[in-house]
Amino acid sequence: MENITSSPAVQLRGVFKRFDNVVAVEKMDLDISEGSLMTLLGPSGCGKTTILRMIAGLETPTEGDILIKGKRVNDTPIHKRNLGMIFQNYALFPHKTIFDNVAFGLKYRHVPKSDMKNKVFKALEMVRLPGVENRMPSQLSGGQQQRIALARAIVIEPDVLLMDEPLSALDENLREEMRREIDNLQRMLGVTTVFVTHDQREALSMSDKIVVMKDGLKQQEGGPEEVYNYPANHFVADFLGHSNFFNGEVVGLENKQVRVKANEGNEFIVESPGNWTVGARIELVIRAQKFKVFYKNQQPPEGSVNLLIGRIKDRSYMGGEVSYFVELETGTVIHAIDMAKLKPFRRGEDVGIQVAPRDCSLLSKTNGSA
């Protein structure tokens, strides 16, 4: 009777959430397919946690519907939704053993004792911490405690796993390790997951789909490569990666390539799939990582196209890469991040800069992008 494959595991339909006069979430539609990992990405205060809390049943939508496996759950209490949750402050029970922490959801669901033991041991193995069941949380490191929180969330075999900035309390190296851990575990279990973060690297590296949000509104939705390479508007281009922006207009159309003149004076050739017309006001977006920086007298990597001359104003060495601020002949300062050469360019040095037409993107200034 029931066609399981036809409904997404989680759906939001026209969901609004208002707190007094604050609109936390506006007109939100989401389809999260079974077994996938969707990330809600956006700055603090954009409504990410509120969405998770509504899926969990900790908040009720002011308007709209939430469906889990095709069934409307607006009025289903939290304990009747089979969800695993992990939050930033892992919140293990400090006076319970690891076993009792992991077993918590099973006890609550009246799972028989023998089953419980098997399930807890299996969950501890999955997070690669077998044998710690008799310890107390304080005897584990922060990273280990977060893995226990993960074990506690998956032990109940949830329909959906909800994670709210689970890595933000960890230091950089541990964060990278946990990111891979969560990614692998999610794929192995095939559990539908909604992951919340304000960190673009987390979002880009783990997600099947990313939903970029601002002020409660969805800005763009797509795979990591799609939102990174084809940002839908200025906000997305600015939030993901380091972007250079040039306001200007289309001055020519030449076999699939668009010639644009930036207000600051330079002209660029852009490969863009859009339907552009001469005279259209545009914003040109160039990622800092897409600019190549080379010696002024060196052969430019892309021939003569989009070739600029500039002087290094500032640079910071970051190991594998160098971040440069380069003043162009027009006076505009651009940001370029290039692979570190044996001898990175120094402040005051004259350099050639180039960007390939395929590495530029255009946003229309006439249909609402800021």
Q: How far, CA to CA in Å, does 207 sit from each of 49, 187, 195, 200, 233? A: 17, 11, 8, 11, 20
Q: Is 192 in the site for Mg ion (CB under 5 A)?
A: no
310 binds, among ligand ADP, Mg ion, none (CB under 5 to 8 A by kind): none
Site string for Mg ion, 261-280 (x = CB under 5 A): --------------------
Does residue 213 contact residue 40 with C-beta atoms inside 8 Å? yes
Q: DSSP letter for 62, please.
A: S
CB of 48: closest distance to ligand ADP in angstroms? 4
Residues 43-82 that bind ligand ADP (CB under 6 A): 44-50
Question: Cβ–Cβ contacts within 10 Å for residue 50, how many?
Answer: 22
From 11, 39, 49, 101, residue interacting with Mg ion (rule: CB under 5 A): 49
Instruction: Give the C-alpha separation, 98 to 155, whole Å.
Output: 13
Q: Are strands 243-254 and 281-287 parallel, antiparallel or unpaired?
A: antiparallel
Q: Is 218 in the site for ligand ADP (CB under 6 A)?
A: no
From 19, 93, 108, 295, residue interacting with ligand ADP (rule: CB under 6 A): 19
Q: Is 197 in the site for ligand ADP (CB under 6 A)?
A: no
Q: DSSP letter for 95, please.
A: T
Does residue 213 contact residue 48 with C-beta atoms inside 8 Å? yes
Q: Is 243 in the site for Mg ion (CB under 5 A)?
A: no
Q: Is 361 in the site for Mg ion (CB under 5 A)?
A: no
CB of 364: closest distance to ligand ADP in angstroms? 28
Q: Is 145 in the site for ligand ADP (CB under 6 A)?
A: no
Q: Is 22 in the site for ligand ADP (CB under 6 A)?
A: yes
State which residue has the least CB distance to Mg ion.
Answer: 49
Please, which residue, 45 or 357, has the CB nearer to ligand ADP? 45
Residue 307: phi and psi, rounded to 5, are -95, 125
Instruction: Give the C-alpha separation, 181 to 187, whole Å.
Output: 10
- Provide the residue type at 23 as one letter: V
From 10, 15, 24, 156, residue interacting with ligand ADP (rule: CB under 6 A): 24
CB of 99: closest distance to ligand ADP in angstroms? 32
Q: Are strands 37-41 and 192-197 parallel, antiparallel or unpaired?
A: parallel
CB of 31: closest distance to ligand ADP in angstroms? 20
Give first-to-last CA distance, the chain, whole Å: 48
| Residues in touch with Mg ion (CB under 5 A) | 49
Residues near ligand ADP, by CB under 6 A? 19, 22, 24, 42, 44-50
